[in-house]
Every structure is written in structure tokens, then in C-alpha cells.
Amino acid sequence: TVPGAVTTAVHSINNLDEIALSWFDSSGLEHGAVHVGTQYFLIDDPAGTGTGIETINDFSTIVGKYVPSGDSQPQGFEGFGRL
């Protein structure tokens, strides 16, 4: 369980056992994370709120969404690289 999480939702597990997930804090705010081994890498887009990580492939590329500040519609994003 992600430290500080009230609810955790696993969305994807790649063949390297890296887990893409979203978690919710006590205020109900969504955050993203990737679990690798025994570590959680917390991911929040600094340009908004409601970050969620939807999937991770075998190259550790993540795809997710966030809600930009001042907007109500989520936007997608893609991130690359080994964690």
C-alpha cells in the first residue's frame, strides 16, 4: 500500500513486475505511482491535479492523465525511462 493512501487502484503490471497505479489520499485527491521492487515512485503532474497512471509497458513507458490547473477536463501524458 502506498504510504498515506486511503484507496489504491492497480491499472497495469508489465513483464518486469512494475506496477502502474493510482491512489487516493484522505482528501479524495487522486495521485499516480509506479511500484518497482519494494519502492513506490510517486507521480503528480506539477501543472495540475488528479494525476493517474493508467499503464506501463516493458520499456517502463507510462501513460496517464491529469487535470490541468483551472480546467475540469483531464489531459493525457506519456513518460519515458527506467525507474
Q: What is the pTM of this model?
A: 0.88
| 31 vs 80, higher pLDDT | 31
pLDDT given at position 45: 87
C-alpha cell belonging to residue 7: 484507496
pLDDT given at position 82: 61
Q: For residue 81, is pLDDT > 70?
A: no
Distance CA 40, CA 32 (A): 10
Average pLDDT over residues 13-37: 96
Average pLDDT over residues 39-65: 93
Q: For residue 83, is pLDDT > 60?
A: no
Backbone φ and ψ of 39, nearest 5°? -115, 145
